[in-house]
Amino acid sequence: MVQQPKSADQSLWIYSKILPFISGKNKKGTNEHLIQCPFCDEAHTSTHPWNAMRGCYFIYQQKYYCYRCNCTKSGLELYEKLSGREYRELMPEYLSFIKRQGKSGINFSNYLSPSSAGYSVDVEKEKRKEDIFLQIPDSMKNELTERGRQYLENRKIFDSPNLPKYAKFYSAVYNSKFDGKKYEVVVIPWYLDGEVWSYQWRFLDSDIPFPKYGFPKDCGKKIYGIDSISTTFPFIICCEGVFDSLWVKNGIAVGGKSLTDYQRAMLKERFPKHRIVYGFDNDKHGLKAMLKDSVLSDSSSLVFYWKDISGGAKDLNDFAIAGNEQYFFNDENVKSHIFSPLSLKLKLSNPFKM
């Protein structure tokens, strides 16, 4: 695995190498750059090749993620793919930059906000994002349309024991800047102690030129489902999405394939006796992410593996829809699918246990 540079200068050095090879949309003043994914050849295989940009490069984290193929790469790995150059060829150039760092800089004023161009990041401001309680705009608080309600009913969302009794869903219209079209979304409020502290939306159309889920800008990475955690069950199952978290006891959603330091600290502060269990999708990318994240976080983290009984279901919501609504609300069933990262690796490497 390629080791990531840590400082802002190093992040921007990698970004400067990537820029000549990508034609995408940099969200000016932010940390993100949207591109057409080179790993799934999005520009040629997408149904919307003229505006497909589901790849997202996070400049300061030096990480790349594609919402189409779920590919996760480092900044250097992305540059390798784009440029065709090899790692052994890149490292001398990178190390030379490290030696010169501080003597000369890179001017990114055309791409980033003034504070970012000066390499100064307000760390405390970044931390405070998670603590902000966001108000859902009135334009996104329309009564559920028949289509939106039907979508949620088909996913059996209203039948979940994990769904708070006060939970609401809304409908809204998303005006796309990509193609000028209007798309209907279901708005999903995220609750903390009964109050809305964040929200996201889910597109109802499957053929869209952007990720199917979206979050408000600069909202920080919060947690869904804290209000439904039982203190009598000693595990917290961290799922990727809201709809999956609704189908496992003490399930929460963390909004992706990783936990932030803030999310982990908040869970441990509120539930100090609970064990954190990584329960991402049991596909190739989900397994890789939760094994990696659990090992790097702390020695007490566990992983949730249920692919052996999934029956082909892609995620926990699909598993529930297939007639298994109550399966993971049984304490023993949940416990039987919790492993240490090492024991799961051994299980996956042993063909006689698959």
Specify the 3-state DSSP secondary structure of 109: coil
Query: For position 210, what pLDDT does the model report?
Result: 74
**pLDDT tens digit string along 100-131?**
654 444 343 333 433 333 333 344 554 566 77
Q: Is the pLDDT of residue 297 over 70?
A: no
d(CA 35, CA 64): 10
**Token pair 């052996």 in the structure block, residue:** 308
- Do 15 and 85 form a contact (C-beta atoms < 8 A)? no
Q: Is the pLDDT of residue 295 over 80?
A: no
Top-confidence range, 37-51, 72-86, 233-247: 233-247
pLDDT band, very low/low/confident/very high, at 151 (cuts 50, 70, 90): very high
> 110: which DSSP letter?
T
CATH, residue 178: 3.40.1360.10
pLDDT band, very low/low/confident/very high, at 291 (cuts 50, 70, 90): confident
CA torsion sign for 17, 18, 24, 29 is negative
- Is the same domain home to 30 and 107? yes
Least confident segment among 127-136, 194-203, 252-261, 293-302:
293-302
Rounded to the nearest integer, the mean pLDDT of the chain is 81
pLDDT band, very low/low/confident/very high, at 69 (cuts 50, 70, 90): confident
Q: Is the pLDDT of residue 258 over 70?
A: yes
Average pLDDT rounded to a whole number, residues 285-297: 73
Q: Is the pLDDT of residue 37 over 60?
A: yes
- Is the same domain home to 187 and 268? yes
Least confident segment among 73-87, 193-207, 220-234:
73-87
- Is the same domain home to 115 and 148? no
- Is the same domain home to 50 and 168? no
Those residues whose C-beta lies under 8 Å from the C-beta of residue 295, and which sit 6 or more positions away, are 301, 341
Q: Is the pLDDT of residue 98 over 80?
A: no
d(CA 26, CA 35): 9
Number of domains the chain contains: 2
Q: Tell me the two tokens of residue 43.
A: 């520009």
d(CA 310, CA 79): 37
Q: Is the pLDDT of residue 31 over 60?
A: yes
d(CA 197, CA 217): 14
Q: Is the pLDDT of residue 294 over 70?
A: no
- Is the same domain home to 105 and 172? no
Query: For position 29, what pLDDT does the model report?
Result: 53
- Is the same domain home to 148 and 296? yes
Least confident segment among 13-27, 101-115, 148-162, 280-294:
101-115
Asked if the structure places residue 2 within a domain, the reply is no
The pTM is what? 0.65
- Do 214 and 188 form a contact (C-beta atoms < 8 A)? no
CATH, residue 70: 3.90.580.10
Domain carrying residue 220: 138-353
Q: Tell me the two tokens of residue 54.
A: 């589901």
Last residue of a domain, one of 77, 92, 121: 121
Asked if the structure places residue 314 within a domain, the reply is yes
Last residue of a domain, one of 94, 121, 148: 121
